[in-house]
Structure 1
Amino acid sequence: MSIPGKRVEDCHYEFEDSTRGPPKILGKWEALRLAVYDGSTGKFLGRTRSSWGVVGLFYLVFFSVLAVFCAICFEGLMLTINLQRPKWILEESIIGTSPGLGFRPISDNTNEKSLIWYNATNQTEVAIWTQRIDQFLNVYQNTSLFPDQGQHRQDCSDTELPEPGKVCAFNFTDWDVCAPGGSYGYNDSTPCFFIKLNRIYGWTPDYYTNDETLPEDMPRSLKDHIKSINGSSLNSVWITCSGQNPADREVIGDIEYFPKNGRLPGYYYPYTNIPGYLSPLVAVHFPKAAKNIIINVECRAWAKNIRYNGVSLTREGSVHFAFMIDY
Structure 2
Amino acid sequence: MMNNETVDYEDSARKLPKQFNFWRGIYNKDKNYIFGRTPKNWGELLLFYSIFYIILAALFAICMQSLLWTLDKKVPKWTLNESRIGDNPGLGFRPMPLNISQGSLVWLNSRNASTIKNYVDLIDSFLYPYEEATLHPHENSVNCDFENLPSADKVCRVNLSHFGQCTAANSYGYNSSQPCIFLKLNRIFNWTPEPFFGDTALPENMPNDLKLYIKSLQEKEQNQVFISCEGQNPSDKDSIGKISISPRGFPHYFFPYKNKEGYLSPLISVQFESPQRNKNINVECIAWAKNIVYRGGLRDRQGSIHFELMID
Q: TM-score, normalised by structure 2?
A: 0.90
1:198 aligned to 2:186?
yes
RMSD: 2.5
Specify the SS of the correspondent of 2:46. Answer: helix
TM-aligned CA deviation for residue 324 of structure 1: 0.6
Which runs of no fewer than 5 residues in structure 2 stay unpaired? none
Out of 133-142 and 55-64, give the one that drifted further.
Answer: 133-142
Superimposed CA distance per residue, residues 103-162 of structure 1 (whole angstroms, 9 cap, x where no aligned partner)? 111125444321011210100111121111111111222359x9xx93432222212222
Out of 170-179 and 199-208, give the one that drifted further.
Answer: 170-179
1:293 aligned to 2:289?
no
Alignment-derived partner of residue 222 in structure 1: 210
Contact kept in structure 2, 1:118 and 1:125, CA below 8 Å: yes
Alignment-derived partner of residue 52 in structure 1: 42
Q: Distance in 2 between matches of 1:13 and 1:54?
A: 34
TM-aligned CA deviation for residue 85 of structure 1: 1.9
Q: Distance in 2 between matches of 1:48 and 1:209?
A: 85
Out of 53-62 and 272-281, give the one that drifted further.
Answer: 272-281
Counterpart of 1:236 (choices 224, 234, 237) is 224
1:186 aligned to 2:174?
yes
1:34-73 to 2 correspondence within 5 Å? Answer: 34-73=24-63
Please tell me the residue identity of whatever aligns with 1:23: S
1:4-153 to 2 correspondence within 5 Å? Answer: 23=12, 25-143=15-133, 150-153=138-141
Q: Which one has a bigger Cα radius of gyration?
A: 1
Q: Distance in 2 between matches of 1:323 and 1:110?
A: 15
- Indicate how the Cα distance of structure 1 residues 202 and 13 shifts in structure 2: closer, same or farther if over 3 A, else same: closer
Specify the SS of the correspondent of 2:43. Answer: helix
TM-aligned CA deviation for residue 15 of structure 1: 5.9
- Indicate how the Cα distance of structure 1 residues 79 and 14 shifts in structure 2: closer, same or farther if over 3 A, else same: closer
Contact kept in structure 2, 1:121 and 1:187, CA below 8 Å: no
Specify the SS of the correspondent of 1:314. Answer: coil
Q: Distance in 1 between matches of 2:10 and 2:195?
A: 102
Q: Distance in 1 between matches of 2:101 and 2:12?
A: 72
Alignment-derived partner of residue 245 in structure 1: 233
**Percentage of matched positions with identical amino acids:** 42
Q: Distance in 2 between matches of 1:196 and 1:45?
A: 65
Superimposed CA distance per residue, residues 26-61 of structure 1 (whole angstroms, 9 cap, x where no aligned partner)? 323322222222333332222222111111111111
Contact kept in structure 2, 1:306 and 1:317, CA below 8 Å: yes
Alignment-derived partner of residue 309 in structure 1: 295
Higher helix share: 2
Counterpart of 1:208 (choices 181, 186, 196) is 196
Counterpart of 1:272 (choices 258, 278, 282) is 258
Which runs of no fewer than 5 residues in structure 1 stay unpaired? 1-11
